[in-house]
Structure 1
Amino acid sequence: MSGAHRHPASPSDGPRTARPVNPLRDARDKRLPRVAGPGALVIFGVTGDLARRKLMPAIYDLANRGLLPPGFALVGFARREWEDDDFAKIVHDAVRAHARTPFREDVWERLADGLRFVQGNFDDPDAYRRLADTLGTLDRERGTGGNHGFYLAIPPTLFPVVLEQLSRTGLADATDDRWSRVVIEKPFGHDLGSARELNALVNSVFPEDAVFRIDHYLGKETVQNILALRFANQLFDPLWNAHYVDHVQITMAEDIGLGGRAGYYDGIGAARDVIQNHLLQLLAFTAMEEPISFEPTELQAEKIKVLRSTRPVEPFDTTTARGQYAAGWQGGLPVVGLLEEEGFAADSTTETFAAITVEVDTRRWAGVPFYLRTGKRLGRRVTEIAIVFKRAPHLPFDQTMTEELGQNALVIRIQPDEGVTLRFGSKVPGSGMEVRDVTMDFSYGQAFTTTSPEAYERLILDMLLGEPSLFPGNEEVELSWSILDPVLEHWARAGRPQPYEAGTWGPSSADEMLARAGREWRRP
């Protein structure tokens, strides 16, 4: 596996102009592929499920799409006593099992030439010397140019020791002609205080513009399409405000339980796991003002304005809900409750359902409630943003004509069936005047012939390109915790979460939360 390898010349070899830019930033370049320049990626925690199911396949898919340079290198770092060939076998099996694009032998051989493995404990100085030597060899033999990314696919408790070693060995150092970047996975702390400590730790080794906090939801095509839907279409912008919008519902529902995940999830809960990052980021994209441009700094500035203006609505006894799934039926099969899942204590108070009400105190959104909810063992797997509009101020129909008529709604489906649905009233065919709700549906799968890239493909490529547009910055992380912390503190004093039957849509307190305002949750 080691030694020099010759490859066809890269389009970036020799004299060149400025690298291709993000097509989200400049429509004139929409046909140009964003090809990463020379570089190597080191994955800490390469033996974990995330690396095998997501990261390795995403890297192969990028290579298969021609978006990685021929000399790209991937280095695994773990305690296993593997050789380079053992690591190559692991990557090969992961690609075969989980890659989105077809397996091509020529692509695999080119990628495999750049695979290396470094064995060692995370606190072993000798292992980091071997890592530095390995990267130096790759710089010389494969032309990675001293550009190194470090993906910390490890628990946050291990961040300090890895960051200290990267700093000590100089691997975190960058210069004008070579970059060094770090990628970290959530959770970004467990409250505001811990998030600040984590940010300070990371920024003591890597400057903020070299830190990429992965929120895989932001890599999904439909999330990015929120920007296109809002700012490329004059149709929606005049209605996107408190004059016309009654409320907004942002839902991330899962039908799976937590068997085998007690080590991560117990004591964390649904609000910390999903609302603090995924759902508040979706809120920011939904509520933000149009940025001056799609430069990362401009995009992040508008999101920060939204998060600074967002507050949880009190009293929390009536504006929030939390639950814990009990035994029930899912997909026609009986399933156990959380307290019977392996690894969870019989008196665990970890919530598996969380819903909160927030408001965005800006001129555009004043008085419009945003309802955020997430849960496990719910009716089906779905993530969506529903913009629910106010009822028409006057209907020239009697009650019998509009008995089934609801509120207009624009629904952005993030997963699993990516697309947009518009609900509105239409006359039922016939001699009488009867109005009924109908839907107009746009589906990504039907409208476009190409499949959407997997979220990790987009995010890994953006990291290699140094494009932080879709990564939350440290201020966004801290603001998100400042929104959620008061609710978490209230729940800590409020006793046990309310049980709900698996396969349903959560505890009754969640329905009561909206019913008090004369509203109800959508049933996706």
Structure 2
Amino acid sequence: MAKEKSAIFIIFGGSGDLAHRKLYPSLFRLYKSKVLKDHFAVIGTARRPWSDDYFRETVITSLEDYFDDDKEIMEEFAKHFFYQSHDVNDSEHYIALKNLAGKLDDQFEAGHNRVYYMAIAPRFFGTVAEHINSEGLKTKDGYNRLVIEKPFGRDLDSACELNGNISKAFPEDDIYRIDHYLGKEMVQDIPNIRANNPKLEQALNNKYVSNIQVTLAESIGVEDRGGYYETAGVLRDMIQNHVMQIIGAIASDDPKAKEAKVIHKNKCDLFASLKELSPEEVDTEFVRGQYDTDKTGEKKAYRQEDNVAEDSNIETFVAGKIEFNTDRWSGVPFYVRSGKRMPDKSSRIDIVLNDKVKELGIRPNSVVTLLIEKEDGNSILINGLNYKDAGQDFIEFPEEAEFDNAREAYESLIIDILSGNRVHFTLWDELRSTWKYIDTIRERWDSQTPEFPNYISGTMGPDAAEMLLERDGNSWIWD
């Protein structure tokens, strides 16, 4: 259990959906576990002219959607919340924010620690960061940590510009770029799984691995995010960040490393070795799709969703083959796949071993599956069976290492922010490499007109996604 933490949280976009759906419930869990107790306060800012009392009511309402706790506990928690109407372009508002934060720091004895959380549109990130710096909000005696939600840019150029603006106000060591998949328990445990299972780690290279598959599938459509998806698509929304970070966890060197700088250097080296794609290779190695209605015609096609163009060419499905130019992984395809309106929700890593692993005492052609989502069981399968029942001994855990599903992703990441632990956040050098890779695909796709829609809702995506693997003599494990 983490010890009690002290900080003033300033949440830009404090009236918004992300704050109420993810941040406030996570902060409440930390309050109940006494990680946050007496020495914290939360300032919510947004343009809406709310009072402290009304803001607290919205916080309590958001908690009631997730918890059955006594309302008195929620009200005690909400007493730590304060609101200030805020215009991100108005310097005077930042001065008022500075004064309020200082007052609350004294009131709650928060140690002059500040967490500035950007729960706002990315176009405001640079502006807010610059004003925090220029109007003197940063304290001298405590820490000042800037938390940024994705998307961090929409291509390499915009990401560079954004990073340049933020870096003028905050050093890299104080910037925490959130990728909520890095807060998921299984993803965080991958290095431990590798480090504690020598045979598995010994097998993780191009001598013994046939291919590795990463699937992030959703059964829902875009729902109320049509406007956002029209500017993003699955390639930017899922592949550039979540999928790449999962690959970083399973493929980086030295899983026993504990220091953030070492871990991030290994990931940076991996992403810097991404095999560059020619435009022609994009055509053969990547597949895009857009969902149609289902077989009964009851569900909307993507082009029928709210805030979506009737002739939209934005993808809701991507499958591709990623390769790395390293001694360890050269020649091993990393097949990735993410899409909306697939048959079920599933997030998983399938490690497909070849017949040479018998040298290591592992059954030839075994498949090791890491299930990421809690509803999937958050566990490990070998050839489709729970690792305890699979009849193989190359993966073992002491009892205390079992997954306990104790924390939600945001709860875990907020603890890391308060502790100054940057292991589970994304560095700029990682983003630069992944954006460069993704831009090649995006530029090729933007020069062509796809035949959309090309897969029926409730199916595994377009047929070309199956053919992508079949051409190499492989097939998707989750099918």
Whether TM exceeds 0.5 here: the answer is: yes
Q: Does the CA contact (< 8 Å) of 2:356 and 2:364 recur in 1?
A: no
Indicate the SS of the match to 2:468.
helix
SS in 2 for 1:334: coil
Find the aligned partners of 2:255 and 2:194 in 1 and give their Cα distance: 11
In structure 1, what is the equivalent of residue 307 of structure 2? 343
Identify the match of residue 118 of structure 2 among 152, 156, 159: 152
1:420 paired with 2:361, answer no
Task: Give distance in 2, aligned partners of 1:296 and 1:104.
Answer: 39
Distance in 2, matches of 1:393 and 1:181, equals 46
Q: Which residue of 1 aligns with 2:135?
A: 169
CA contact (8 A) 1:70 1:110 kept: no
The match for 2:413 among 449, 453, 459 is 459
- Could you say what secondary structure the match of 1:297 adopts? helix
Runs of 4+ residues deviating >4 angstroms: 104-107, 437-443, 446-450
Deviation at 1:125, TM superposition (A): 2.6
CA change 1:137–1:373 in 2 (3 A) is same
User: What letter matches 2:354 in structure 1?
Assistant: K
The residue number in structure 1 matching 2:16 is 48
Paired residues, what number? Answer: 465
| Residue 376 (str. 1) matches residue 334 (str. 2) | no
1:507 to 2:473 alignment: no
Deviates more, 1:503-512 or 1:154-163: 154-163
188, 191, 194: which is aligned to 1:230? 194
Counterpart-to-counterpart distance in 1, 2:109 and 2:269? 42
| Aligned residue type for 2:262 | E
Work out whether residues 218 and 470 of structure 1, in 8 Å CA contact, stay in contact via their aligned partners in 2.
Answer: yes
* 1:238-266 deviation per Cα after TM superposition (whole angstroms, max 9, x unaligned): 21111110001111011110132122110
Written as runs of structure 1 = structure 2, the 5 A alignment for 1:402-481 is: 407-415=365-373, 416-417=375-376, 418-423=378-383, 450-481=404-435
Q: Is the 8 A contact 1:311 1:360 kept in 2?
A: yes
Work out the CA distance in 1 between the residues paired with 2:91 and 2:441: 42
More helix by share: 2
- Give the match's secondary structure for 1:360: coil
Q: What CA distance in whole angstroms lies between the structure 2 residues aligned with 1:46 and 1:483?
A: 34
Structure of larger gyration radius: 1
Q: 2:382 aligns to what SS in structure 1? A: strand
CA distance in 1, matches of 2:52, 2:310: 45
Contact 1:245 1:368 in 2 (8 A): yes
Give how far 1:464 is off. Answer: 1.4
Deviations 1:140-199, CA, capped at 9 Å, x for gaps? 11111221111111111122332232122111x343x31111111101111111111111
1:211-243 per-residue CA deviation (whole Å, 9 max, x = no partner) reads: 110000000000011111101221311211111
Cα 1:232–1:142 shift into 2, 3 Å:
same
CA displacement at 1:393 relative to structure 2: 9.2
Q: What amino acid does structure 2 have at the position aligned with 1:517?
A: D
TM-score by length of 2: 0.91
Change in CA separation of 1:407 and 1:292 when aligned onto 2, cut-off 3 Å: closer
How do 1:98-117 residues align onto structure 2 when only pairs under 5 Å count?
A: 98-99=66-67, 103-104=69-70, 107-117=73-83
Match of 1:133 in 2: 99
CA deviation profile, 1:105-127 (whole Å, cap 9, x unmatched)? 56535422321111122223332
> Per-residue deviation at 1:286?
0.8
Letter in 2 for 1:503: G
Aligned to 2:164: 200
Q: Deviations over 1:402-432 (max 9, x none)?
A: xxx994100111113111101189xxxxxxx
- TM-aligned CA deviation for residue 439 of structure 1: 9.9
1:388 aligned partner? 352
Which has the larger share of strand? 1
Identify the residue that residue 67 of structure 1 maps to in structure 2: 35
Asked if the contact 1:313–1:357 (Cα under 8 Å) also holds between the matched residues in 2, the reply is no
C-alpha separation between the residues in 1 aligned to 2:392 and 2:223? 37
Give the drift of 1:89: 0.8
Partner of 1:85: 53
Contact 1:44 1:152 in 2 (8 A): yes
The structural deviation recorded for 1:333 is 8.1
2:34 maps to amino acid: G
Counterparts in 2 of 1:213 and 1:393: CA distance versus 1, 3 Å:
closer
The aligned counterpart of 1:397 is: none
Aligned to 2:475: 520
Quick one: structure 1 residues 424 and 380, their matched pair in 2 at CA, closer, same or farther if it must change by over 3 Å? closer
Shift in alpha-carbon separation, 1:226–1:165, aligned structure 2, 3 A: same
Shift of the alpha carbon at 1:79? 1.6
Q: Do the aligned partners of 1:41 and 1:149 also contact (CA within 8 Å) in 2?
A: yes
The alpha-carbon deviation at position 493 of structure 1 amounts to 1.7
Residue matched to 1:16: none
Which of residues 50, 67, 76 is equivalent to 2:44? 76
**What is the match of residue 306 of structure 1?**
270
Matches within 5 A, 1:240-389: 240-290=204-254, 293-312=257-276, 315-329=281-295, 334-389=298-353
Q: Check whether the contact 1:355–1:373 (CA below 8 A) recurs between aligned residues.
A: yes
1:377 touches 1:503 (CA, 8 Å); kept in 2? yes
In 1: Cα distance, 2:170 partner to 2:336 partner:
33
Unaligned stretches of 5+ in structure 2? none
Match of 1:189 in 2: 153
